[in-house]
Amino acid sequence: MHKTSLAAAALLAVGLTATACGGDSGSDADGGADKIKVGVMFPGSLSDDGFMQSGYEGYQRIEKNLSDKVALTKVEQVAAADYQQVLTRLATGADLVVSFGGQTDSVLRQVAPTFPDVKFVEIGGPSDAVPLTNLAYYDPVQADGGFLAGAYAALISKDGKVGFVGGMELPAIVKTAEAFAQGAKHVRPDVEVLKPQYVGDFNDVAKARQAGQAMVGGGAQAFGQQLNLGKQGLVQAALNGDATVIGGPLVKECGSEPGYAGYVKSDTGAELEHAVNAVLDGTYKAAQVPFGMASGTNATDIILCDPTPETATKMTEVKEALTNGDIKLP
């Protein structure tokens, strides 16, 4: 995100490049006039191994599966100073604008009212935000994933000490850390949950490694996290300290990456697909829309790598309780 002030300025100077699904331009000659126009802002990198990449995988699925109905435009790695310009440009002539990340919320709430005929969706914004007339909030319910990670971490920690490392100290990330502690205590009341560490950046490998080293020094043996590329540093610290990390939001094949005990799935790309389909079928609503365990969307889950039968059984019980609403999160 450090390099985008110039990149965004260049895009805005020449006009954003629209990528129509299937590689066409969405012109009248090929029926493009009937396509809905969708602009997507990814403030981070599309290869961040996390929130943005998960969203981009959904973007790619739309390109592949809805080539006859949707024309897409995207901008990635946008500096905070450029949010308003980029969102304004994306909204011009669009039917739908989707912004990823709660860090864009205040600017999005300024831009949306100036385009009353455009539908907006924020993915990952504050779960308590009041929707505007044309601004919906799609909540990944990261706290569900935090609860699952906390429960699993507590169950696999030999000595009963676990920790959580987050990137920016945003409300959704703090709630995830709180849910992690709640999940750990739910399955193992005597577990010690170390104070969560926020390193200020989802992609800073060095800071995440330092935070992990400090928590390993404090006895943590299993980690939950809300990081993107920063996970690399946390895993390095865990491996050096005989600890393990619960990855996510992208799910990898168990055993393909050393240091991971499992993965919390949080499919933000599915939320982007939901937004596009809601506009296509006329079901879009400017509301808070959750995508957690109870949503039935399969956007949230946890994958366990080589658990004991007892751990697998307990985690199935935890997932069912979250899905049924038997567990109340903060």
Class of domain 4-140+268-291: alpha beta
**What's the pLDDT at 171?**
85
Rounded to whole angstroms, the Cα distance separating 262 from 82 reads 36
Rounded to whole angstroms, the Cα distance separating 99 from 119 reads 11
Assigned architecture for domain 142-248+301-324: 3-Layer(aba) Sandwich (3.40)
**What's the pLDDT at 16?**
52
Report the chain's terminal Cα–Cα distance, integer Å: 31
Rounded to whole angstroms, the Cα distance separating 226 from 3 reads 23
Q: At what angle do helices 171-187 and 142-156 cross, to 10 degrees?
A: 40
Tokens of 100: 């990823």
**Single pTM value for the model:** 0.86
The rounded average pLDDT for each run of 10 residues, N- to C-terminus, in the chain (330 residues) is: 45 45 36 85 95 97 96 97 98 98 96 98 94 97 97 97 95 94 98 98 96 98 96 98 97 96 97 98 97 95 98 98 93
Start-end ranges of CATH 3.40.50.2300 in the chain?
A: 4-140+268-291, 142-248+301-324
